[in-house]
Amino acid sequence: MAERAGARARTGAGRSLPKSHRTRERILDAAARVLGSKGYAGTRLQDVAAEAGLQAPAIYYYFGSRDELIAEVMYVGAHRVRGHVIDVLAALPVETDAMGRILAAVEAHLRYELLISDYTTASVRNAGQVPESVRERAAAEEAAYSHMWRDLFEQAQAAGELRSDLDLNLTRFLIIGAMNWAAEWWDPKHRTLDDLVASTQALVLNGVGRH
Amino acid sequence: MAERAGARARTGAGRSLPKSHRTRERILDAAARVLGSKGYAGTRLQDVAAEAGLQAPAIYYYFGSRDELIAEVMYVGAHRVRGHVIDVLAALPVETDAMGRILAAVEAHLRYELLISDYTTASVRNAGQVPESVRERAAAEEAAYSHMWRDLFEQAQAAGELRSDLDLNLTRFLIIGAMNWAAEWWDPKHRTLDDLVASTQALVLNGVGRH
DNA sequence: GTCTATACTCGGATAGAC
DNA sequence: GTCTATCCGAGTATAGAC
């Protein structure tokens, strides 16, 4: 789960992150986990602190309030998936066709959401529950991410790689929804992530692709 | 907890529902709405009471505790979708093929979830957040519902109406997930429910159907 | 049956020691 | 930077009037 920095060398010299920064990151990771499992109203600073290995008041040294901490988790979650998917797309061979790019994005989204980051789960599960004021910063990120997916689908459509009778917006939301919801039921003990990725890609390819 | 007797109509004869029963139902409806929008920990009895048009302590006449009320909402939510889908399937012409039954179930699920019932949204959104003890009763209903979908897919597979290379379990969860998630983004002001139903059915038909 | 008043608990936030 | 101690508002639940 977390991109927890892991204990860095105590030995001085090569230290790239000051201690305060690492503690802040640990609190953020802990908050993402609690937020993802307990929800917005259920997220207690005491639980976050326990997960991070310190006492609740220490959180106030790094964040102004509970809502500020939660807003940061939501923002970071949305920001990092988007960054990850964009990196993966950028690394594809230039000759990759539009459908190939969609399938790569599907894989990148699923792997990041389910394997790497608690933030995305937290963000996605609580989007509908947190007050407007707390969502604001994350909302811009989410809009940008949604925009990226729309571009992918529109490029595929322009290239004639999609069925022509499709409602692109509805279909896109359905597919993203299927992936987001996977966080609710996917259990690594029952199914490998590779299998889930393959099934999702198959559903997308057959469901929207021209053949 | 459910059928606490309650006082019956004083006026005798023609009344089909005693007043106490109707008030209980109103509280339950209100709780479903609040639970769906605020989440488990965010559901305050005061808000539920306000939605139902009475004061918070009145709730205790019908329910033993906050958790008992919420557990009832979760149970009723799961119970009613399942009942609705089963009714729709039972009303289909006997000659309907297996894929036709799946598409009918997709339509029934979406219409019930998005148009008729706040319960399903509440149940679906909070499945991961409420404590085990509160989920217990609803869990059996959800298992039965999941079982019903598995039957539908297995019958389609046995009839040779599905692609042969499919992981049936994963695909089923992906499709149910896409539908459940629709409650998070579908906005009747932008898209008609008919359009959503059609797009979902198309995704299923092309995504898993043979040819 | 539904209300007002209130006891009790819990969690966010601040003060101030170290 | 992180702790202990504490204040305070919010929310569940109960008592008891009507």
- Structure tokens belonging to residue B113: 């979830």
Nucleic strand D near CB of residue B49 (< 7 Å): no
pLDDT value at residue B16: 61
Evaluate whether A36 touches A122 at the Cβ level (below 8 Å).
Answer: yes
Residues in chain A within 8 Å Cβ distance of B128: 37, 125, 184
What value, to the nearest 5°, has the Cα angle with vertex A108 and ends A103 and A112?
150
Contact at CB, A174 and B125, closer than 8 angstroms: no
CB-nearest to B127 from A182, A184, A191 is A184
CATH architecture for the domain at A71-208: Orthogonal Bundle (1.10)
Distance D5 C1' – A18 CA (angstroms) = 30
Q: Could you tell me the pLDDT band of residue B2, with boundaries at 50, 70 and 90?
A: very low
- Residue B10: pLDDT over 50: no
B177: pLDDT strictly greater than 60: yes
Instruction: Give per-residue burial for B134-161: e unless 16+ CB within 10 Å, then b.
Output: bbebbeebbeebbeebeebbebbbeeeb
Name chain B contacts of A196, Cβ cutoff 8 Å: 170
In Å, what is the separation between the CA of B29 and the C1' of C3?
A: 22
Is the pLDDT confidence value at B11 over 80?
no
Superfamily of structural domain B73-208 = Tetracycline Repressor, domain 2 (1.10.357.10)
pLDDT of residue A10: 40
Q: How far apart are CA A42 and CA B103, in angstroms?
A: 38
Give the closest of A171, A176, A179 to B203, CB-based: A171
pLDDT tens, residue by residue, B25-75:
999 999 999 999 999 999 999 999 999 999 999 999 999 999 999 999 999
Q: What confidence score (pLDDT) does residue A116 get?
A: 86
Give the CA angle between residues A43, B176, A159 to the nearest 5°: 105
Instruction: Name which residue leads in pLDDT, A72 or B128.
Output: A72
- CA atoms of A63 and A61, how far apart (whole Å): 6
pLDDT of residue B107: 98
Q: What pLDDT score does B17 carry?
A: 66
Q: What is the largest CA-CA distance in chain B?
A: 64
Q: Residue B134: which residues within 8 A CB-CB, separation 6 or more? A: B40, B67, B70, B71, B74
Residue among A152, A153, A173 nearest A163 (CA): A153
Q: Distance between CA atoms of B123 and B56, rounded to whole angstroms?
A: 22
Instruction: Please report the pLDDT score of residue A3 as a whole number.
Output: 42
Q: Which of B36, B24, A129, B35 is nearest to B45 (CA)?
A: B35
Structure tokens at B157: 């597979």
Q: Which residues pair with B209 in a beta bridge?
A: B162
Residue B162, helix vs strand vs coil: strand
List chain A pLDDT tens, one digit each, 211 residues: 444 333 333 434 445 667 778 999 999 999 999 999 999 999 999 999 999 999 999 999 999 999 999 999 999 999 999 999 999 999 999 999 999 999 999 999 999 999 988 998 898 889 889 999 999 999 999 999 999 999 999 999 999 999 999 999 999 999 999 999 999 899 999 999 999 999 999 999 999 999 7
**DSSP three-state, residue A86:** helix
Q: What confidence tier does B117 reach under pLDDT thresholds 50, 70, 90?
A: confident
Cα dihedral B102, B105, B106, B107, rounded to 10, equals: 130
Question: What's the rounded Cα separation, in Å, for the pair A202 and A209?
Answer: 10
pLDDT in tens, B14-24: 456 677 789 99
Q: What angle do CA A207, A194, B166 make, to 5 degrees?
A: 40
pLDDT given at position A204: 98
Q: Looking at the predicted structure, is the pLDDT value of residue B208 above 90?
A: yes
Q: How far apart are CA B48 and CA B56, in angstroms?
A: 8
